[in-house]
Amino acid sequence: MRKRRWFVLVVVLPTLLAALYYGFIASDIYVSEARFVIKSPDQKRPQLSTLANLIQTTGLSSGQEQANEVLEFVRSRDALRALEKNAGARSRFAENGDPLSRFPGLFADNSFEEFYKYYGKMVDARLDSESGTAILTVKAFTPDDAFVINDALLNLSEGLVNRLNSRAQNKAIAEAQKQVELASDRARRARTALGGFRTSQEVIDPAKQAAGVLDISNNMVATRAALQAQLDNMQRVTPQNPSIPALRNQINAISVQIASQDSRVVGSGQGIASKMGGYEDLYVEQEFATENLNAANAALVQARNEAQRQQFYLERIVEANKPDTPVLPRRLLSVIVIAAALTCLYFVGWMLIVGILEHAPED
């Protein structure tokens, strides 16, 4: 023993301590595992060429990107705070387990940062890049604790996906809704302005009204021409006809009416023609505002459909299980690994010392 005292101190004694710890002190650790994927309701994808498929496989799909965001959240301090509040994670890791395994342990304080470091050792969240499946693994000292924490993390992940969907949907729809409100206000102001112009100018549609007045005037011009032809013929054939004065008076009256109708169209100041410019400006503004409103409403419908199509949801492939057998620690394997590592360390040190002694001076 005296001759091999360093071997005993470096290898045998630590191995015996490890065997004592793993054999009689180390607590059983239960592992709960869950798997999920992030999917979109729009599962119909266009057929891609072989080259496009090869290019697409070089990156992450949108669902995998969403899964990575969820896993980053699971590994974050925010998730740990939520677990402390909703699942009592701190007490679950502190009340069970041996002094070296439980939180805060022998050489750590009870701060949140120390608990976050401990949380990183007990919870593992990773993405299987080949299948696109997110794997969530939770270690605890009882089956119930492992299950409760894993299930709580799944619920928190679903809540995060729903919040991200709601945020993206509300942002897109809110912008489209704002454009609809602006277009509605513009169309309303255009209609009000056009109605005010019609009321103040006592006109409905100058173009149509002018066309009606001109039709009346043209009919009277035709009637006057016929009467004038009749008068000329009568004066030439029967100059003493007593109907000539009456016919002449009728022609004069029609001429006055024609002049009156013409003045309604082109008269200065209150003529229909003077009102057409202002009316057309307001009418064009109303038509443009109406088209703008229709386009904004169509964009709002499209934004809602696009938000629904791009919405993601978390689908649980494997629910969080309640383990019935501890899988950690691997007691015998751990003792063997410690013994082998210490033995290698001992022989490396021994060879180093022997080499030094061989090359030392004789004196």
Q: What is the DSSP letter of 1?
A: -
* Tally of structural domains, the chain: 1
Q: What is the 3-state secondary structure (H, E, C) of 100-140?
A: CCCCCCCCCCCCHHHHHHHHHHHEEEEEECCCCEEEEEEEE
CA distance 205 to 342: 102
Q: Tell me, yes or no, whether 23 lies in a domain.
A: no
In this prediction, residue 52 carries a pLDDT of: 40
Which CA distances in Å does 107 have to 139, 217, 275? 21, 109, 92
**Token pair belonging to 49:** 């060429």
CA distance 293 to 286: 10
In this prediction, residue 46 carries a pLDDT of: 42
Minimum mean pLDDT range among 98-112, 195-209, 251-265 = 195-209
In this prediction, residue 21 carries a pLDDT of: 81
Q: Tell me, yes or no, whether 331 lies in a domain.
A: no
Q: What are the DSSP E strand ranges found in the chain?
A: 30-39, 123-128, 133-140, 313-318
Q: What is the mean pLDDT of residues 274-290?
A: 74
Q: Tell me, yes or no, whether 248 lies in a domain.
A: yes
- Residue 222 belongs to what domain range? 202-309
Tokens 């994808």, residue? 45
| CB environment 260-298: b (16+ within 10 A), e (fewer) | ebeebbeeeeebbeebbebbeebbebbeebeebbeebee
The listed range with the strongest mean pLDDT (64-68, 152-156, 181-185) is: 152-156
- Start-to-end Cα distance in the chain: 30
Burial class of residue 343 (count of CB atoms within 10 Å of its CB; 0-12, 13-18, 19+) = middle
Whether residue 267 is predicted with pLDDT greater than 60 in this model: the reply is no
Which CA distances in Å does 216 have to 36, 94, 221? 81, 101, 9
In this prediction, residue 264 carries a pLDDT of: 60
In this prediction, residue 32 carries a pLDDT of: 94
Which of the pair, 68 or 241, is modelled with greater confidence? 68
Q: How confident is the model at residue 62 (pLDDT cuts 50, 70, 90)?
A: low
Which of the pair, 8 or 259, is modelled with greater confidence? 8
Q: What is the pLDDT of residues 180-228, one digit of tens each?
A: 888 888 888 888 887 877 776 666 666 666 666 667 777 888 888 888 8
Which of the pair, 346 or 307, is modelled with greater confidence? 346
Tokens 């899988």, residue? 327
Q: Tell me, yes or no, whether 278 lies in a domain.
A: yes
Which CA distances in Å does 244 have to 22, 192, 222, 247? 139, 55, 19, 5
Whether residue 41 is predicted with pLDDT greater than 70 in this model: the reply is no
Whether residue 300 is predicted with pLDDT greater than 60 in this model: the reply is yes
339 — phi, psi (to 5°)? Answer: -65, -45
Q: How confident is the model at residue 65 (pLDDT cuts 50, 70, 90)?
A: confident
In this prediction, residue 60 carries a pLDDT of: 45
In this prediction, residue 45 carries a pLDDT of: 45
**Token pair belonging to 324:** 């019935």
Q: Tell me, yes or no, whether 139 lies in a domain.
A: no
In this prediction, residue 271 carries a pLDDT of: 58
CA distance 335 to 14: 10
CA distance 151 to 251: 101
Which of the pair, 172 or 298, is modelled with greater confidence? 298
Nearest CA to 315 out of 132, 45, 149 is that of 132
CA distance 286 to 60: 49
> Which residues lie closer than 8 Å to 167 by C-beta, 6 or more apart?
none
CA distance 313 to 63: 9
Q: What is the pLDDT of residues 318-361, one digit of tens each?
A: 899 999 888 888 888 888 998 899 899 988 888 888 777 777 66
Minimum mean pLDDT range among 1-15, 155-169, 182-196 = 1-15
Which CA distances in Å does 148 have to 90, 208, 249, 314, 325? 13, 78, 109, 19, 16
Q: Tell me, yes or no, whether 305 lies in a domain.
A: yes
Q: What is the DSSP letter of 359?
A: T
Q: Tell me, yes or no, whether 361 lies in a domain.
A: no
> CA dihedral in degrees (63, 163, 320, 89; nearest 10)?
130
Q: What is the largest CA-CA distance in the chain?
A: 172
Burial class of residue 68 (count of CB atoms within 10 Å of its CB; 0-12, 13-18, 19+) = middle
When the pLDDT of each residue in the chain is averaged and rounded to a whole number, the result is: 80
Whether residue 91 is predicted with pLDDT greater than 60 in this model: the reply is yes
Q: What is the pLDDT of residues 124-133, one digit of tens each?
A: 999 988 888 9
In this prediction, residue 79 carries a pLDDT of: 93
Q: Tell me, yes or no, whether 280 lies in a domain.
A: yes
